[in-house]
Every structure is written in C-alpha cells, then in structure tokens.
C-alpha cells in the first residue's frame, strides 16, 4: 500500500529516492521546477539529458512520457523527467496529465525507488488549473499498482497549492 503525503516548499531541497521534474520535451532545461532542478542538481543531469537526446530521444520526450537520469547533487538517487500537457480550454488533455503521474511512477517502481516526490505538474507555466491538476494527481497516484514505491509526496511550492492538494486528499479519502 502506497501512502500519499504532502509537503510545502522547494522540491529541489526535498529528500526522496526519486524527484520528478516537470520538464519540457527538449529535456534541455527550462523555467519553474525544471530550472530549479538543473540549477541545484548541477551539470550531471543536463549531461545525461543530452545523451538521451543523442540516443533514443532524438525528437525529445513526448508529452505524458517519463524518463530517468541521475539526480546529480540533489538529495535523491534519480530525477524522473516527465512532460506535462499545456492546458487547453477547448481540448481535454487530462489523460496526458494522468499519464505523467502514472508513467513517472512506473519508471520509479522499475528502478526500485521507495520514495517519490512530485511537483504539481503542468500547473505553472503550462497553465493547468490547480484544483483540477490536484484531482488528477491524487486520483492517478491512488490508482497506481506499485510494488517498490512506499511513499509518494506532493511537494507544493506555495500555501495555496498545498491547501488545494490537502482538500483533494481529504475529499476522496
């Protein structure tokens, strides 16, 4: 049984076997969580991302998929990079956002990770409404069939996001 916890703060200061990165398809860095992970994690993460781009991921990482690299200097064993969908009012991309959580957990489980930390994927620059993002995150993690992962923590940057996730976790339990 996987437990779900909440924390508030900067995910790059969090300790977990896997820290999930809300990456973009280039895998070569960006703003928000992505920028913070590469800044604090150091150049080893970017070097491995470049190797991925030179190999199987020549066109980049598709939306909803996930791939692992070293965690560099972060207090973690791996970073799992996943690409969230950009919010669109006229198109339901929920399945892609759910896939980010499910695929990241599948990769983490395959690595033998016991603890996984997620940011609120797509809710920053990609514009997903926080409440719906929290609903999808919580539902998807609850539905995942995992063997090695014992604890999943959502690390929310601010008070509001933390409150929204807390309400979602409380609602559905």
Residues taking part in catalysis = 34
Instruction: Determine if 136 is a binding residue for ligand ADP (CB under 6 A).
Output: no
- Our finding on whether 125 is near ligand ADP (CB under 6 A) is yes
Residues 6+ apart with CB under 8 A from 135: 168
- Cβ(16)–Cβ(115) below 8 Å: yes
How many residues sit in the footprint of ligand ADP (CB under 6 A)?
21
Q: Is 11 in the site for ligand ADP (CB under 6 A)?
A: yes
The stretch near ligand ADP (CB under 6 A) out of 72-80, 102-110, 114-122, 143-151 is 114-122
Q: Which of 33, 52, 71, 113 binds ligand ADP (CB under 6 A)?
A: 33
Query: Which of 121, 22, 21, 8 minimizes the C-alpha distance to 72?
Result: 21
Instruction: For residue 84, state whether it binds ligand ADP (rule: CB under 6 A).
Output: yes
Among 42-50, 70-78, 103-111, 113-121, the segment contacting ligand ADP (CB under 6 A): 113-121
CB of 35 to ligand ADP, least distance (A): 8
Q: How far apart are the C-alpha atoms of 14 and 123, rounded to whole Å?
A: 19
Q: Of the listed pieces 60-68, 90-98, 119-127, 136-144, which binds ligand ADP according to CB under 6 A?
A: 119-127
Shortest reach from residue 109's CB to ligand ADP, in Å: 22
Long-range contacts of 138-142 (CB under 8 A, 24+ apart): 138/4, 138/165, 138/168, 138/169, 138/172, 139/98, 139/172, 140/98, 140/101, 140/102, 141/2, 141/4, 141/101, 141/105, 142/4, 142/172
**Residues of the shown chain interacting with ligand ADP in the complex, contacts defined by CB under 6 A:** 10-12, 22, 31-34, 36, 84, 119-126, 155, 157, 161
């Amino acid at each position: 049984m996987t437990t779900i916890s909440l924390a508030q703060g900067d995910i790059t200061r969090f300790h977990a076997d896997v820290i999930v990165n809300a990456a973009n398809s280039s895998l070569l860095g960006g703003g928000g969580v992505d920028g913070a992970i590469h800044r604090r994690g150091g150049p080893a993460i970017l070097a491995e991302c470049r190797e991925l781009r030179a190999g199987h991921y020549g066109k980049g990482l598709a939306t909803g998929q996930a791939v692992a690299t070293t965690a560099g200097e972060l207090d973690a064993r791996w970073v799992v990079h996943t690409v969230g969908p950009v919010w669109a009012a006229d198109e339901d991309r929920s399945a892609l956002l759910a896939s980010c959580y499910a695929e990241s957990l599948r990769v983490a489980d395959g690595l033998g990770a016991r603890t996984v930390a997620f940011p609120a994927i797509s809710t920053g620059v990609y514009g997903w409404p926080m409440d719906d993002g929290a609903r999808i995150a919580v539902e998807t993690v609850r539905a995942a069939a995992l063997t090695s992962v014992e604890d999943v923590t959502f690390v929310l940057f601010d008070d509001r996001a933390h409150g929204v996730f807390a309400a979602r976790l409380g609602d559905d339990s």
